[in-house]
Structure 1
Amino acid sequence: MGYPRKLTRRFQAFDNFAISFTIINIIAGIFSSFGFGMNAGGPRILVFGWIGVSVMVLFVGASMGEIASAYPTSGALYFSAGKLAKRHHGAWSWYTGWLNFVGQVGGTAATDYAAATFIQAFIAMQWPSYQVTPQRTVAITAAILLVQALANTYTVHLVAILNRISVWWLLIGMVIIVTALTVVPIHHQPTSYVAHFANNTGFTNGLYGGMLGLLVTSWTFTGFDGSFHMSEETVRATINTPKGIIRAIGCSAFTGLILMLALVYAIRDYAHEASAAAPPVQILIDALGLGTAKLLLLIVIGAMLFCGLANMTSNTRQIFAFSRDGAMPGSHWWHSVSTRTRTPVKAVWLAAVCSLLLVVPGWWSNTAFTAVVSVNVVGLFLAYGIPIFLRLRLDTFQPGPWHLGRYGKPVAAIAVVWIVISNILFMLPQASPITATSFNYAPIAVAVVLLIATAWWFANARRRFQGPVSYGSPDEVAAMDLI
Structure 2
Amino acid sequence: MDSGEKRLNELGYKQELRREMTLFKTLAISISTVTLFTGITPLYGSSLLYAGPASLVWGWVVVSFFTWFVGIAMAEICSSFPTTGSLYFWAAHLAGPVWGPFASWCCAWLEVIGLIAGIGTQAYAGSQTLQIIILLCTGTNKGGGYFAPRGVFLAMYVGFTIVWAILNTFALQVIAFIDMISIWWQVTGGLIMVIMLPLVALSRQPASFVFSHFVTASDSTGIRSKPYAVILSFLVSQYSLYGYDAAAHLTEETKGADKNGPIAILSSIGIISVFGWAYILALTFSIQNFDYLFDVNNETAGTFAPAQILYDAFHGRYGKSTGAIVFLFVIWGSFFFGGLSITTSAARVVYALSRDKGVPFSSFWRKIHPKHKVPANAVWLCAAICVLLGLPILHVNVVFTAITSICTVGWVGGYAIPIFARMVMAEDNFKPGPFYLGKASRPICLISFLWISYTCSVFLLPTSYPIKFDTFNYAPIGLGVCLTLIMAWWILDARKWFKGPVRNTDEHTGKG
- TM-score class, shorter-chain normalisation, is over 0.9
Instruction: Identify which of 212, 215, 230 aligns with 1:198.
Output: 215
The equivalent of 2:119 in structure 1 is 108
Aligned to 1:287: 313
Q: 2:181 aligns with which of 139, 162, 165?
A: 165
Checking the alignment, whether the CA contact within 8 Å between 2:390 and 2:399 is kept in structure 1 is no
Task: Give 1:368 shift.
Answer: 4.8
Cα distance in 1 between the residues matched to 2:103 and 2:149: 42
Secondary structure of the structure 1 residue equivalent to 2:82: coil
User: 1:426 maps to which residue?
Assistant: 459
TM-score (norm 2): 0.90
Is residue 504 of structure 2 the alignment partner of residue 471 of structure 1?
yes
Deviates more, 1:329-338 or 1:313-322: 329-338
Query: Who is 1:343 aligned against?
Result: 374
1:145 aligns with: 161
Q: Residue 393 of structure 1: CA displacement?
A: 0.7
**How far did 1:320 drift?**
0.8
Instruction: Report the more deviating stretch, 323-332 or 19-28.
Output: 19-28
RMSD value over aligned CA atoms?
1.6
Task: Name the counterpart of 1:71.
Answer: 81
Q: Is the 8 A contact 1:333 1:346 kept in 2?
A: yes
Q: Which amino acid aligns with 1:117?
A: Q
Go from structure 1 to structure 2 and tell me whether the alpha carbon gap of 1:369 and 1:53 turns closer, same or farther (over 3 Å shift).
Answer: closer
User: 2:21·2:254 contact (CA, 8 Å) conserved in 1?
Assistant: yes
Post-superposition offset of 1:355: 1.0
> Which moved further from structure 2: 123-132 or 257-266?
123-132
Q: Look up the equivalent residue of 2:52 and give its one-letter code.
A: G
Query: Which of 374, 386, 390 does residue 417 from structure 2 map onto?
Result: 386
Give the CA deviation at 1:293. Answer: 0.9
The CA deviation at 1:465 is: 0.8
1:62 and 2:72 equivalent?
A: yes
Displacement of 1:333 in angstroms is 1.3
- 2:473 and 2:391 map into 1 onto residues whose CA distance is 19
Query: What corresponds to 1:479 in structure 2?
Result: none
Deviation of the 1:324 alpha carbon: 0.3
Q: Deviations over 1:171-193 (max 9, x none)?
A: 11112212221221231111212
Asked if structure 2 preserves the Cα contact closer than 8 Å seen for 1:75 and 1:317, the reply is yes
**2 CA distance for matches of 1:131 and 1:191?**
35
* Displacement after TM superposition at 1:125 (Å): 1.4
**Corresponding position: 1:240 with 2:266:** no
| Counterpart pick for 1:314 among 345, 349, 371 | 345
Q: CA deviation at 1:334?
A: 1.4
Q: How many residues in Structure 1 have an aligned counterpart in Structure 2? A: 477
User: What aligned pairs does 1:323-334 form with structure 2 within 5 A after superposition?
Assistant: 323-334=354-365
308-317 vs 337-346, which moves further: 337-346
Paired AA for residue 484 in structure 2: L
Secondary structure, in 3 states, of the residue corresponding to 1:42? Answer: helix
Q: How far, CA to CA, are the matches of 1:188 and 1:403 in structure 2? A: 46
Per-residue CA deviation, residues 290-339 of structure 1 (Å, 9 max, x unaligned), is 22111111111111100100010011110110000000011111111122
1:207 aligns with 2:207: no
More moved, 354-363 vs 317-326: 354-363
Which whole-Å CA distance do the structure 2 matches of 1:267 and 1:3 have between them?
54
Structure-1 separation of matches of 2:322 and 2:27: 34
Which of 396-405 and 69-78 deviates more? 396-405
- Structure 1, residues 132-179: CA drift from partner, whole Å, max 9, x if none? 211111111111112111111124322111111100000111122122
Aligned to 1:227: 247
C-alpha displacement at 1:39, in angstroms? Answer: 1.1
- Change over 3 Å in CA distance of 1:369–1:46 after alignment to 2: closer
Q: Which moved more, 1:193-202 or 1:318-327?
A: 193-202
* Residues in 1 aligned to 2:136 and 2:276: alpha-carbon distance in whole angstroms: 26
Alpha-carbon separation, structure 1, partners of 2:292 and 2:398: 24
Give the structure 2 partner of residue 480 of structure 1.
Answer: none
Kept in 1, the 8 Å contact 2:12–2:508? The answer is no
Q: 1:447 aligns with which of 473, 477, 480?
A: 480
- 1:374 Cα deviation from its structure 2 partner: 2.5
> What are the residue-to-residue correspondences of 1:99-138 with 2, within 5 Å?
99-128=110-139, 129-138=145-154
Letter in 1 for 2:327: L
- Sequence identity of aligned pairs in percent? 35
Contact 2:396-2:470 within 8 A present in 1 as well: no
Contact 1:61 1:246 in 2 (8 A): yes
Cα distance in 2 between the residues matched to 1:412 and 1:475: 29
Of 441, 446, 467 in structure 2, the residue corresponding to residue 413 of structure 1 is 446
Q: Which is worse superposed, 386-395 or 432-441?
A: 432-441
In 1, the alpha carbon distance for the partners of 2:508 and 2:74 equals: 29
Equivalent position SS for 1:427: coil
CA contact (8 A) 2:201 2:312 kept: no
| Other-structure match for 2:37 | 27
Query: What is the distance in 2 between the residues matched to 1:107 and 1:475?
Result: 35
CA contact (8 A) 1:20 1:225 kept: yes
CA deviation vs aligned residue, 1:90-133 (integer Å, no higher than 9, x gap): 11111111111011000001111110111111112112442421
Specify the code of the residue in structure 1 equivalent to 2:231. M
Q: Does 1:250 align with 2:274?
A: no
Is the 1:7–1:233 Cα contact (8 Å) retained in structure 2?
A: yes
Match of 2:18 in 1: 8
The aligned amino acid for 2:155 is A
The one-letter amino acid paired with 1:124 is L
1:473 CA displacement: 4.8
Aligned-residue offset at 1:372: 4.6
How far did residue 369 of structure 1 move? Answer: 5.8
Code of the residue aligned with 2:285 in structure 1: it is Y
Give the Cα separation in 2 of the matches to 1:395 and 1:442.
Answer: 36
> Is the contact between residue 134 and residue 147 of structure 2 (CA under 8 Å) also seen in structure 1?
no
